[in-house]
């Protein structure tokens, strides 16, 4: 274990106590005379949580001539690739906890319709009107309702009463654009649902795009560049489809959705993926090649059910065992060698990286008034940070998991301040017990 400060390293006072069953390490908080560091520097490798398929690894294997099925069998050992029905409608959250949003037609082609209520795809409803050309519709959360407002440089519209939910549909020739927070979506398929939810921050609006999983949803997945080798694209399409099938049977109350359009689930960018310059049609063709027919497609299966096909960008050389990252046991997520992630030619951005984290971000991550130093308490068998602690200038300490730390500081991965290969071989897992000054080493936390 090592304790770190910016531009400086020191050894804490350690007392080693050995018993028959466990080894415990008592760490006493040092006293600091220097000023509080303004920044902390981190050097590491890889990007993402490290569980499941490495996307850079899939690219590397495809460049070596491996097929999509070979890639998937490698990263999800013990699974099989089979065909399964995937005609379900998936509800994708494209706007979470919003107060305002705006929709308009792209290039003023086709028309869009405004309907009252939260309608499933294909179910008729009360239509307030059908709108052409340069007409825009904005939605505003006001009180306990969502109020639509129609605007146009050439026409005026009467006020529309608020409702708790709305549905937007558009003609097949149309493409709808949306402005949601700082993001713009182009949407060609399915429909939009807007629903009012009561939250701790007051009433907010959840905005979802409901569309067919089989093709329409997959065409909009923006997880990997469309210029990648065909086998890597096909492996991603199959993994993304399988991930979605695992989420299709439950609607999350906090987002009114099956999945988010972000990396909280998987990155969905809508029609923009399909119309990318040069390569847009390449991704769409890769998805189509993974369709068995018009109603079934290839998925990753384990014991006859869709597997939990987690994936991420790149590792520090080996993928993670899910037990060490999130807990639980999944037989096909136990970690495999991933040397392609350490190849600078295949993974130029993240085979190694450096980041500076400000004092404010560090303190917020640990829930402390400030941070004088941090200490890596335990690592996984791949060398990623499993547990990390920090000490404030007042001597107060805080312990969080590596994944929580990565999320709060926006570091690319938990593979930072990496130990040497010999040190990784000698790693033991570390458990920190709340409200205790002892850290216990044992096989599993």
Cα distances (Å, whole numbers) of residue 26 to 18, 310, 397: 11, 37, 14
In a domain, 341, yes or no: no
Q: Binning pLDDT at 50, 70 and 90, where does residue 445 land? A: very low
Distance in angstroms (rounded) separating the CA atoms of residues 44 and 147: 48
97 in the same domain as 35: no
First to last CA, the chain: 16
Count of domains for the chain: 2
CA angle (337 as vertex; 333, 342 as ends), nearest 5: 125
176 is a domain residue: yes
Question: Which domain covers residue 253, as residue numbers?
Answer: 89-228+244-279
Does the pLDDT at position 1 exceed 80? Answer: no
Last residue of a domain, one of 236, 262, 279: 279
Q: Are residues 269 and 403 in the same domain?
A: no
Domain co-membership, 33 together with 106: no
Same domain, 158 and 251: yes
37, 108: one domain: no
> Does the residue 156 lie in any domain?
yes
Radius of gyration of the CA atoms of the chain, in A: 25
Task: Examine residue 333 and state whether it is found in any structural domain, yes or no.
Answer: no
Q: Please report whether residue 251 resides in a domain.
A: yes
- Judge if 95 and 40 occupy the same domain: no
Regarding whether 98 and 8 lie in a shared domain, the answer is no
DSSP for 119-154 reads PPTT---EEEEEEETT-EEEEEEETTEEEEEEEBTT
Angle at Cα 82 formed by Cα 321 and Cα 330, nearest 5°?
20
Nearest to 251 by CA among 383, 26, 92, 430: 92
Q: What percent of the chain has pLDDT over 90?
A: 82
Residues 301-340: tens digit of each pLDDT: 999 999 999 999 999 999 999 999 999 999 999 999 999 9
User: Would the pLDDT of 95 be above 80?
Assistant: yes
Query: Are residues 175 and 120 both part of a single domain?
Result: yes
Verify that 264 and 194 share a domain, yes or no: yes
Q: How far is CA 402 from CA 145, 205, 230, 314, 324, in A?
A: 41, 32, 34, 17, 10
Same domain, 270 and 203: yes
- Is residue 131 included in any domain, yes or no? yes
pLDDT for res 437: 33
On whether both 8 and 147 belong to a single domain, the answer is no
For the cut 50, the answer to whether the pLDDT of residue 140 exceeds it is yes
- The torsion region of residue 395 among left (phi > 0), alpha (psi -120 to 50) and beta comes to left
Res. 108 pLDDT band, cuts 50 70 90: confident
Q: Which helix (H) or strand (E) covers residue 388, if one does?
A: strand 385-391
Distance CA 370, CA 392 (A): 5
Q: pLDDT (tens digit, 9 = 90+) per residue, 332-387? A: 999 999 999 999 999 999 999 999 999 999 999 999 999 999 999 999 999 999 99
Residue whose entry in the numeric block shows the structure tokens 């086709």: 110
Average pLDDT over residues 45-50: 97
147 CB contacts (<8 Å, ≥6 apart)?
A: 139, 140, 141, 160, 161, 162
123 lies in some domain: yes
CB 431 within 8 A of CB 15: no
Residue 260 lies in a domain: yes
Give the span between the Cα atoms of 102 and 152, in whole angstroms.
13
Looking at the whole model, is its pTM more than 0.75?
yes
Mean pLDDT along residues 21-37: 47
The residue ranges of DSSP E strands in 228-372, in sequence order, are 259-260, 296-302, 305-306, 311-312, 353-358
Residue 135 pLDDT > 80, yes or no? Answer: yes
Mean pLDDT of 400-407: 96
Tens digits of per-residue pLDDT, 194-231?
A: 999 999 989 999 999 999 999 999 999 999 999 999 99
Shared domain check, 110 and 24: no
DSSP 8-state code for residue 296: E
Contacts of 232-236 spanning 24+ positions with Cβ under 8 A: 232/55, 232/58, 232/59, 232/61, 232/62, 232/68, 232/71, 233/282, 233/283, 233/286, 234/68, 234/286, 234/289, 234/290, 235/53, 235/58, 235/62, 235/68, 235/71, 235/72, 236/55, 236/58, 236/286, 236/311
Distance, in Å, from the CA atom of 358 to the CA atom of 356, rounded to the nearest integer, reads 7
Q: Tens digits of per-residue pLDDT, 144-195?
A: 999 999 999 988 999 999 999 999 999 998 999 998 888 899 999 999 999 9
């Amino acid at each position: 274990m090592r304790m770190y400060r910016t531009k400086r390293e020191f050894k804490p006072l350690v007392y080693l106590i050995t018993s028959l069953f466990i080894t415990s390490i008592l760490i006493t908080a040092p006293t600091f005379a220097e000023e509080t560091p303004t920044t902390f520097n981190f050097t590491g490798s890889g990007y993402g949580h490290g569980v499941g398929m490495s996307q850079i690894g899939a690219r590397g294997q495809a460049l070596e001539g491996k097929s999509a099925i070979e890639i998937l069998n490698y990263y999800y050992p013990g699974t099989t690739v089979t065909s399964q029905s995937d005609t379900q409608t998936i509800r994708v959250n494209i706007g979470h906890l919003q107060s305002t949003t705006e929709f308009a037609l792209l290039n003023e082609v086709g028309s869009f319709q405004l309907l009252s209520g939260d309608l499933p795809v294909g179910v008729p409803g009360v239509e307030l009107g059908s709108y052409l050309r340069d007409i825009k519709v904005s939605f505003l959360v006001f009180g306990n309702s969502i109020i639509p407002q129609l605007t146009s440089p050439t026409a005026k519209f009467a006020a529309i009463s608020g409702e708790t939910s709305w549905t937007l549909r558009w003609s097949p020739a149309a493409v709808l654009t949306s402005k949601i927070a700082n993001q713009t979506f182009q949407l060609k398929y399915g429909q939009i649902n807007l629903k009012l939810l009561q939250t701790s921050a007051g009433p907010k609006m959840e905005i979802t795009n409901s569309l067919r999983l089989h093709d329409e949803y997959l065409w909009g997945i923006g997880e990997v560049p469309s210029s990648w080798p065909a086998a890597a694209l096909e492996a991603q399409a199959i993994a993304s489809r399988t991930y979605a099938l695992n989420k299709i049977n439950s609607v999350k109350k906090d987002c009114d959705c099956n999945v988010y359009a972000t990396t909280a689930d998987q990155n969905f960018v809508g029609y923009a993926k399909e119309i990318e310059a040069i390569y847009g049609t390449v991704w769409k063709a890769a998805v189509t090649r993974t369709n068995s027919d018009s109603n079934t497609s290839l998925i990753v299966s384990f014991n006859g059910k869709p597997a939990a096909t987690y994936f991420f960008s790149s590792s520090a050389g080996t993928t993670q065992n899910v037990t060490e990252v999130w807990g639980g046991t999944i037989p096909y997520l136990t970690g495999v060698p991933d040397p392609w992630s350490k190849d600078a030619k295949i993974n130029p951005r993240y085979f190694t990286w450096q980041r500076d984290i400000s004092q404010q971000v560090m303190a917020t991550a640990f829930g402390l008034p400030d941070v004088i130093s941090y200490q890596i308490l335990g690592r996984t068998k791949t060398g990623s940070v499993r547990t990390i602690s920090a000490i404030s200038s007042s001597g107060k300490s805080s312990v969080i998991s590596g994944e929580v730390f990565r999320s709060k500081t926006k570091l690319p991965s938990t593979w930072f301040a990496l130990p040497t290969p010999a040190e990784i071989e000698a790693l033991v897992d570390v458990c920190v017990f709340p409200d205790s000054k002892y850290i216990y080493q044992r096989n599993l936390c």
